[in-house]
Homo-oligomer: A and B are copies of this chain.
Amino acid sequence: MVWGCVTDFFTYETTKSVVVKSWSVGIVNRIVQLFIITYFVGWVFIYEKAYQVSDTGIESSVMTKVKGYGYHHNRVMDVADYVFPQQGAAVFCIITKLILTENQFQGKCAESMTQFSCNTDEDCASYYGSYLSNGVITGVCLKEGNDSRGQCEIEGWCPAEKETKIKPMLDVKNFTIFIKNSIRFPLFNVIRGNFPSTMTSAEIKSCTYHPEKRPFCPIFRVGDVLNFTGQTVEDLANKGGEIGINIEWKCNLDLNIEKCVPRYSFTRLDAPFAKNAVSKGFNFRFAKYFKTENGTEFRTLHKAFAIRFDVMVTGKAGKFDTIPTLINLVAAFTSIGLGTVICDVILLNFLKGAEQYKAKKFEEVSEAQIEASLPQSPETPLSLKTGIKSSYDSGAISLSTSDQPI
């Protein structure tokens, strides 16, 4: 009994096949198979690299350093004056225009903006709580001399900031940005830097990035960067703006690691907002604080129009791995079987002698037949043909061992 189970277990089950020796179906079959194989090899495996596992969780560290001198407010501005924040972060601003409001003390004074002009105190009371003024609206209308029209009074840092026209610092176009970017693909523990280790110190110092001629030089001229994005220095320097410097790492780690190099691209980040008239450009306010001899604090307010640079690093690395390869191979092989479906349609419907092929492929058993054979069980010609009375290879075993093509 146990021995029977064992012998039944070590049987081998293979599908019974019908081999059709027909040129038409045979050729169609092989053409369909060829087409499917070509698709998988060409597109899935070679182009889309479906045999690789990929790591998109790139880990990146960016250090930047700006160099250059510019004239603004009759002064020479250097890095400590115009870069913000100064410590060389991935996101930094180069100030191109400063509107200075010097010697501001806490107190009350007239608002400078014309939209806060007034005839009476009531006019000003209507502006209570406004955040567009340069301080807290007190509700008083300040008039000079005999003027019938005055300006609302504000409380805060006085005098109020005045919008003045001033020429931006166009020297910015000659400034250079040095970018040091080191990345890591955690999945493969691959570490790379954005300039090749064969580059000498002298080469790095003297070069300027050029997309074709010097694609790996880590020094970028601001004017060039703005040009790459299709912007003019004049426009950006005046209103400020946001520029994205994208470093893209697309690495095929099955190849030589030296081929894992960055690719730079440049975009104007406020582009999606170009249609909206609001908040064009980029500016922010900061203050320098001083103290008088007697200890009263005062400040110089700076409204800074700046070009903000965002160094954004994206990356993807791929490397051969068994799991995706296997899954895709199985998908490929299984897809080849799809050819059979098409050929079956042709064979069983459109070919001369389709009915005969059907008869060959399909063997019919109806309930009636089975029932007829049941009462007089072992003597029927049907049961004589079987000879598997001792078969224990039920469907249940079939499930666990999956001999069936599932």
Contact, CB under 8 Å: B312 / A33 = no
Known contacts: A69-B136, A89-B91, A131-B68. The answer to whether A364 contacts B387 by CB under 8 A is yes
Which of A115-123, A144-152, A223-231, A268-276 lies on the face that meets chain B?
Answer: A268-276
Q: In the assembled complex, how far is the CB of residue A222 from the closest CB belonging to chain B, in whole angstroms?
A: 12
Contact B135 A69 (CB under 8 A): yes
How many chain A residues sit at the interface, stated as a range, is: 35 or more
Contact among B78, B88, B341, B360 with A156 in the assembled complex (CB-CB below 8 Å): B78
Nearest chain B CB to A294's CB is how many angstroms away? 12
Proximity bits, A172-204, B CB within 8 Å = 1, else 0: 001010101010101000011101011111001
Copies of this chain in the oligomer: 3
Tell me, yes or no, whether A76 is within 8 Å of chain B by CB: yes
Question: Does A259 touch B at the CB level, under 8 Å?
Answer: no
Residues 326-365 (chain A) with a chain B CB within 8 angstroms: 326-328, 330-331, 333-338, 340-349, 352-353, 355-365
**B76/A106 in contact, CB under 8 A:** yes
Contact A331 B327 (CB under 8 A): yes
Q: Within the assembled complex, what's the spacing in Å between the Cα atoms of A316 and B59? A: 13
Given A14-B343, A86-B285, A359-B386, residue A272 in contact with residue B182 (CB < 8 A): yes
Interface: A141 (CB within 8 A): no
Residues of B within 8 A of A44 (CB): 323, 326
Given A61-B310, A91-B89, A364-B21: A370 touches B391 (CB 8 Å cut-off): no
